Amino acid sequence: MRPSRRALIAAAPALALAACGHRDVAQPLPPARPLKATARFPVGTSLMTGELQEPQFVGLVRSNFSQITPEWEMKMERILGADGSLHFEAADQIAGFCRDNGLRLHGTTLVWYSQDPPAFEALKDNRAAFEAKLREYIGAVMGRYKGLARGWDVVNEAVAENGDGYRGGVWAAGLGDDYARLAFEMAREADPGAVLFLNDYNLEQMPAKLNSFQRLAERLLKAGAPLTGLGTQSHLDISLAKGEAGVAIKALARFGLPIHVSELDISTVGGDFSLGGDASRLEAQARIAGEIAEAFAVLPAHQRYAFTVWGVRDKDSWLRGGKSGHPDDQPLLFDDDGRPKPALSAIEAAFARAK
């Protein structure tokens, strides 16, 4: 069974604290072929500040990736206090790491149904005040990282789980069904040069959700929203049938917009129970990783915004955390000890074939 996203998201603060002082620091391993060296486009990963204390982790990031997405510490529930105050300490640390190491920053996320901060809940019956507060927040956050953050997930996971309709949480309560368009307009005001993304998950596995995502993108563009990028999170697992990993990318390519594979991981637990031990599961994982990398790599150059993996080593993954996580999952490109896995080789091979 896949973990509950909300349960694991809720565990993020505790996981971030745990990362700061309760992991053993392994000795750095001899570097594998740098992943970023095989790509003609940015290759990203996610991280939290605690991981920046680990020499091996930092070494793997510097060697293999060219873009960073803050896993949790740039989200609203971390930055925005209950009293409306802003707390940038953790986000600044990640931004500083990017700046010091010549890495591009991708910001996530400005408006998300899953986060309903008290500062906005208190204003949801006063549209004018609610709108002014959101404009203030987006302006402050994007303005702080302007010039370093190349793009932002402006609206995240707006499509209902089964693809039947849309969800908006406190944002729809405060601004109505037009909240997404307004958020994109506010983001464009805050940073005219950033790529502004609509981002969602399960687009590969659920045709109905992919269709609803495309309809939302069409609606926003028709309404004049400055939507300039499309993100597919790509949280996958080894049950995915052959040929399905690249479905969302191929469908979204028709918009002509930059595409971001924004949170790739491929769970090895559950899924296809006909597979035997770890070797068979890692082989299936590598097949899927190669498929999605191939679909991305053959896009026109102007549509290849970035290919982001949601973590570095298996033990860093959110799929290991919270009550719903599985301690035996191996969803990333490097194992617990920082050794490259077959999925990494499959992605490198796909990238090497790109023009």
Please tell me the distance from the alpha carbon of residue 158 to that of residue 138, in angstroms, as a whole number: 18
Residue 263 annotated in active site? yes
Select which of 51, 71, 73, 263 is catalytic: 263
Which residue shows structure tokens 């973990």?
A: 3
* pLDDT score for 351: 96
Assess if residue 28 is contained within a domain.
no
Q: Are 72 and 16 in contact (CB under 8 A)?
A: yes
DSSP string for 67-117: EEEESSTTSHHHHB-TTS-B--HHHHHHHHHHHHHTPEEEEEEEEETT---
* pLDDT score for 271: 64
β-bridge mates for residue 104, sequence order: 67
Instruction: State which amino acid sits at residue 139.
Output: G
Token pair, residue 156, equals: 């995240």
Q: Are 33 and 10 in contact (CB under 8 A)?
A: no
Residue 306 has φ and ψ, to the nearest 5°, of -175, 155
Residue 157 annotated in active site? yes
Q: What is the DSSP letter of 52?
A: G
CATH code for the domain in which residue 249 is found = 3.20.20.80
Assess if residue 27 is contained within a domain.
no
**Backbone CA torsion sign across 39, 265, 100, 141:** positive
Q: Are 52 and 89 in contact (CB under 8 A)?
A: no
The CA distances from residue 49 to 28, 138, 286, in Å, are 19, 22, 29
Select which of 51, 54, 73, 157 is catalytic: 157
Assess if residue 163 is contained within a domain.
yes
* pLDDT score for 354: 79
Which residue shows structure tokens 């559950």?
A: 270
Please tell me the distance from the alpha carbon of residue 40 to that of residue 249, in angstroms, as a whole number: 17
Q: Are 235 and 310 in contact (CB under 8 A)?
A: yes
Mean pLDDT by 10 residues, the chain (355 residues): 46 43 41 83 98 97 98 97 96 98 97 94 97 98 97 98 93 96 98 98 97 98 98 96 96 98 94 71 96 98 98 96 85 97 96 84
CB atoms within 10 A of CB 170: 20
How far out from the chain centre does Cα 136 lie? Answer: 24
Assess if residue 19 is contained within a domain.
no
Task: Count the domains in the chain.
Answer: 1
Comparing CA positions, the residue from 260, 285, 303, 289 lying closest to residue 348 is: 289
Assess if residue 26 is contained within a domain.
no
Assess if residue 24 is contained within a domain.
no
Q: What is the pTM of this model?
A: 0.91
* pLDDT score for 278: 84
Which residues constitute the domain of residue 119?
5-13+33-352
Assess if residue 199 is contained within a domain.
yes
* pLDDT score for 7: 47
* pLDDT score for 32: 53
Q: Which residues of 314-329 are buried (b: 16+ CB within 10 A; e: fewer)?
A: bbbbbbbbbeebbeeb
Assess if residue 248 is contained within a domain.
yes
